[in-house]
Structure 1
Amino acid sequence: MTEPEEELPMIKQFRDWIQKGPSESDPERIRFFTDSIIVLDTNILLSLYEYTPAARQQVLDALRNVQPLLWLPHQVGLEFFQNRHRVITGRKKALEESQRILRNKIADAKKALREARTHTQNMLIRYAQDTEASGRLEKQISDKEINSLLGDISSTLEGQASRLREYDISVSPNGEGDAVLSQVAALFGDQIASPPNPKLTRQRVEEASLYRFPNLIPPGFKDAGKGTALASSGDFLLWEETISHMSASEGRSHLLFVSNDTKEDWYQPSGEGRSEPRPWPYLKSEMRARAGAELRFETPGTFYRGINHFLHAEIAETTYAEIDRAAVGAVPASITETAAIRTQPPPDLVAAALDAAGLGEGLVYTISNTPHRLLFLWWLIGATAQLERRVPVDNEPDVLFMPATRATTQPDTGWVPGVRLHLGEWPYRSSSWIAPWFADTINALSVRDRKILQGLAAQQLVLKPSATQVDR
C-alpha cells in the first residue's frame, strides 16, 4: 500500500515550508485558545495605553478569558517597563499638541481669508480700475468680520479639543495612578518569568550578533546594528526564553504568540505563489525541534476576534477598530491588496505621499468614508515611491498592487474598462482595465485631484505595463 503523502518522511520534515500562513478557519486553532501557553508581545501590552477607556476595559475583560494560559517572558516585562512611560508621555504630548495645532490652523484660516480679500482687491484695481468696489470689499470683509465668521467654528473645535483632556493618562514615574499597569500586573499574577542568568544572556546575544543575524535567521535580524548588541537582540532573547519555557512546560504542547510585529525578520515576504507574508516556517520548525511544541502566530485583531469566537468575549466592533488603529506600527514588509484592506497606513507616510504628489490633506477627508480608503492611500504611498517622487523611509513596505493594467482581457472579476475614467484625463481609455477601487474613488474627487492621481497611475503603467498584482 502506498504511504499517504503527508506521512512521507521528507514531506513531514519540511511540512512548515509547504503550508500557507495561519488561517482563521484552521480546525486546530481552537486548541491554541483553550489549551496552550499564550505569550503577548510587548507591543500588545503597550497598545493598552492607546485605547479609549471603554475599549481598554473590553480588551482587558477579553484577556481575562484566557488568563490561565498567559505567561509573561522576562524580556517582554522588561521592555514594557522600559517603554510604558514613553508611550504615556507620547499620548499626553499628542493631546497637548492637538490644541496648539488647532490654534495655528484657525490663525492660518484667518490669514488665508485676509490674503484672499487683498488679492481680490488688487485684481479689481489692476484690471477693472474699480477702487470703489475694492473699498467696499475692505468694509464687507473686515478683520472683525473674519474673526466673527470663524468665531463659532473656533469655539466648537476648541471645545472638542479641551474635551480630549479627559482621555489623558497622567501617572507618576513610580506608577502611581496607572490603572493600566495595575490591571496588567493582576492579569499575569505569578505567571511571569524570572530574569535569565546574565551569563546565559551574554551567550544568547553573542549567538544572535555573530551567527544568526549575519545569516538572516529569524527572529530579529532586521534589528542588527541598532544600538548595542544587547539592545538589538531583544527579539532573539524573547525567542530563546520562550523556547526554554516551552521545553520545561509539562502538559502544554502548543504556543500562541500574539504580536503587532510582522516585519520580515518574523514574517516571510509574499512570493513563490503566496499572495501574503506568512510567519517564517523556520520558527515553527525550530520550536517543534527544540521544545516539542506547535507554534501559532496571531496579530492582535485576529487574536481578539478568536477570543470572541471561541470563548464568547463581548467585544464591540468599535473596539476592533481601535485595536486595528493601535496596530498601525505593525506594517508588513510588503503590502498586497489583501494586506492593504486591513492595514492602517502610518500617518507620516500618508503625509509624505500627499506632499510628493502635490495633493492637500483635504484628500484624506474627502475619501474618509469611502469603502476603498485604505487601498487608495497605500497605492498612493507606493506610487510616489516607485516613481521617485520622494525617498522611501527606512523599513517602508513595498506596495505590490496597481490600479490599472494594459491587457486585452479582463484581469479579474470587477475590473472595468478604461472608459470608466474621464475623457481627456486618462490616456489609455480604450486599452486598459481599471481596478474597481480606483475607479470608484477617483470619480468622487475634484477635477484637479483626479488629474494628478490619474497622471501617477498612467506613469506607473508605463513603468510596469502588465503588473496588476490582483490577490484575493
Structure 2
Amino acid sequence: MAGETTADAKSRGLFDDFGAFRTPTVEDFTSVLTHGLVVPDANVLLNLYRYTEQARGDLLRALGGLENRLWVPHQALVEFWRNREGTLSDARSSGTQAAAEMASHAEQAVRTLRTWANRVALPEDETDGLRTRLNEVFHGVQEMIVKVGEGEWQNITQDTSTDPVIAKLEPALAGRVGAPLSQEDYDKAIVEGMRRVDKSLPPGYMDRTKDGVGAAADYLVWEQILREAAQRQCDVLFVTADGKEDWWRKEQGFNRGPRPELTEELRTRGGGRLFMLTPNRFLEVAASALEFSLQEGSVEDIERIERIGTDEATHGGWTTGALQELFDRLTYEGYGDRVAVIKYAAEMDSVADSASIYDICKYPADRSLRGFTKPVTRLAGQLRDLKKVPESAVYVMKAKYDAGPGPASGFSVHPLLVPLINSLPDEDKQ
C-alpha cells in the first residue's frame, strides 16, 4: 500500500483489513445478541404473514426477547406498511391458489388417462372407474388444502386492531424504530443510492429494475443502520431474507457473510463488526443465546419460505414451475416456436436476432414479426392474474430495436431469467 511504512506492515495480521472473511463463532453471535444492535429487514417482518402460526410465534418470541437491542430502521417500516396488505393477500390466497392448481392437475391427469385408455382400447366402465378414483384422490387433497388454509388464516385480517401479528409487533417495537431522515439527508441518500445502483456498488444494485427511486430503498435502510451503529458504537447483526449478492459475499453459490465493502463501511463510520443471518439461522442462534425452546418444525418452515423468496427474487419473480407452465401453455396454444426462441435467446446471452428467429421458426422471408411477443405477454399476464407470479415479475420476452422505429432487430429475454431458462430440461432431448 502506498505510503505504508515497514512498521505499519509488521503490525498487521491475517484478518486486518479482511475481517469480513472471519467466520463468526457462537460467542460472536451471543455477544451481538446480548450487547449489540439487532436489525430485522422489512422482509423479515412481512414474512411473519407467510409463516405457520407456530413458526411465527417462535420468531416473534425471539425478537421480543432482544429488548432494547432490537432496532428497526424507519425505511424498513416504510417498506413494511407499503407491502403489508399485498403480502397478507398473497399469503391468504396461497391455499386457494394451491387448490386451483390441484384442480388443474386433476383435469390434466384425467385427460392423460383418457388418451391412454383410448390408445389401449380400455373398456369404458374400467376407464370410468379409474377416473372416479383419480377425482376422489385430487378432491381429498383439495379439501385438506382449503381446510388447513382457512384454519391458519381465520384470525388474520387487514384490520390492524385484530391482527395478531400487529398485536405482537407493536409492543416489541415500541421505542425501537428509528426516526426518518431529514429531507436534506433523505435527498442525499437517494442520490447516493442511485449512484451505487449505477456503479453496481452494494447494497441495492440488484434492485435496479425497480421503478423510480425504489432501487435506492436498500441503501436507505443501510444508511440508517450506519447512523444508529455509529451512535451506539456497537456491533450489528442484520437479519434479512434477501439473499442477493448486493448484501452477501458469495462463494461457490453460498452466502458466507456480509459483503466486505459493507463490513468496512460500518467500521469506518464508527460502528463495530457486521454480522448477517437469514431468519431461520437467526431463530436457531437466538434460541440458544436467549435460552428459550423452539417448537419442532419452526426453523424448517421459515427456511422453506426463504427458499421460495430467494428463488423469486433471484429470477425476477419467476420460479421454475411458473416458467415451465408458461412454456406448456404456449405449446398447448400452438406457440411452441416462441418457446424455442426464448430458449435460444437464453443460450445466446439473452438475445435472439431476427435472422435466427426466421431460421428457428422456419418462417418465409416475407413474414412480419410484428406481434411476435403478444402470446407470451398475454399468457404471462394470465399467470399474474392467477397469482402464480407476482405483479412485479419481470418480462419474459420483448422486442429489440437497434436502429430506432421500424422492424425489430431481434427479441430478448430478461437477463434474470437466463439461468432459470437454461436450467429447464430440454424436452427435445428426453
User: Normalising to structure 2: TM-score of the pair?
Assistant: 0.68
RMSD: 3.9
For 2:32, the equivalent position in structure 1 comes to 32
For 1:180, the equivalent position in structure 2 comes to 165
* Structure 1 counterpart of 2:243, one-letter code: T
- Match among 259, 267, 273 for residue 240 of structure 2: 259
For 1:158, the equivalent position in structure 2 comes to 142
Task: Classify 1:212/1:149 alpha carbon distance in 2 versus 1 (closer, same or farther; 3 Å).
Answer: closer
User: Any idea what SS the aligned residue of 2:237 has?
Assistant: strand
Distance 1:275 1:107 in 2: 40
- Match among 182, 187, 191 for residue 197 of structure 1: 182
Task: Classify 1:241/1:169 alpha carbon distance in 2 versus 1 (closer, same or farther; 3 Å).
Answer: farther
For 1:236, the equivalent position in structure 2 comes to 219
- Match among 8, 18, 21 for residue 15 of structure 1: 18
The percentage of counterpart residues that share the same residue type is: 21
User: Any idea what SS the aligned residue of 2:289 has?
Assistant: helix
Aligned: 1:312 with 2:291: yes
Gaps of 5+ in 1: 122-133, 335-345, 358-384, 403-448, 457-472
**1:50: Cα distance to partner?**
1.1
User: Any idea what SS the aligned residue of 1:177 has?
Assistant: coil
User: Any idea what SS the aligned residue of 2:244 has?
Assistant: coil
For 1:349, the equivalent position in structure 2 comes to 320
For 2:300, the equivalent position in structure 1 comes to 321
**1:29: Cα distance to partner?**
2.9
User: Any idea what SS the aligned residue of 2:276 has?
Assistant: strand
User: Any idea what SS the aligned residue of 1:291 has?
Assistant: coil
Distance 2:154 2:231 in 1: 39
Distance 1:208 1:119 in 2: 62
For 1:100, the equivalent position in structure 2 comes to 100
* Structure 2 counterpart of 1:31, one-letter code: S
* Structure 2 counterpart of 1:7, one-letter code: S
- Match among 210, 213, 227 for residue 226 of structure 1: 210
**1:114: Cα distance to partner?**
2.7
Distance 1:212 1:154 in 2: 50
Contact 2:229–2:270, Cα closer than 8 Å, also in 1: yes
Task: Classify 1:316/1:347 alpha carbon distance in 2 versus 1 (closer, same or farther; 3 Å).
Answer: farther
User: Any idea what SS the aligned residue of 2:38 has?
Assistant: strand
User: Any idea what SS the aligned residue of 2:39 has?
Assistant: strand
Task: Classify 1:387/1:31 alpha carbon distance in 2 versus 1 (closer, same or farther; 3 Å).
Answer: same
Contact 1:74–1:192, Cα closer than 8 Å, also in 2: yes
Contact 1:169–1:178, Cα closer than 8 Å, also in 2: no
User: Any idea what SS the aligned residue of 1:297 has?
Assistant: strand
Comparing 211-220 with 48-57, greater Cα deviation is found at: 211-220
Comparing 262-271 with 289-298, greater Cα deviation is found at: 262-271
Contact 1:51–1:322, Cα closer than 8 Å, also in 2: yes
Larger Rg: 1
User: Any idea what SS the aligned residue of 1:257 has?
Assistant: strand
Aligned: 1:330 with 2:334: no
**1:59: Cα distance to partner?**
1.7
- Match among 185, 191, 200 for residue 206 of structure 1: 191
**1:315: Cα distance to partner?**
1.5
Aligned: 1:110 with 2:110: yes
Distance 1:10 1:110 in 2: 64
**1:228: Cα distance to partner?**
0.7
Q: Which runs of 4+ in 1 moved over 6 A?
A: 2-6, 353-357, 385-392
**1:76: Cα distance to partner?**
0.6
Distance 1:212 1:162 in 2: 45
Distance 2:300 2:318 in 1: 16
Contact 1:33–1:307, Cα closer than 8 Å, also in 2: yes
Task: Classify 1:212/1:268 alpha carbon distance in 2 versus 1 (closer, same or farther; 3 Å).
Answer: same
Contact 1:333–1:398, Cα closer than 8 Å, also in 2: no
**1:166: Cα distance to partner?**
1.2
**1:100: Cα distance to partner?**
2.3
Size of the aligned set, in residue pairs, is: 344
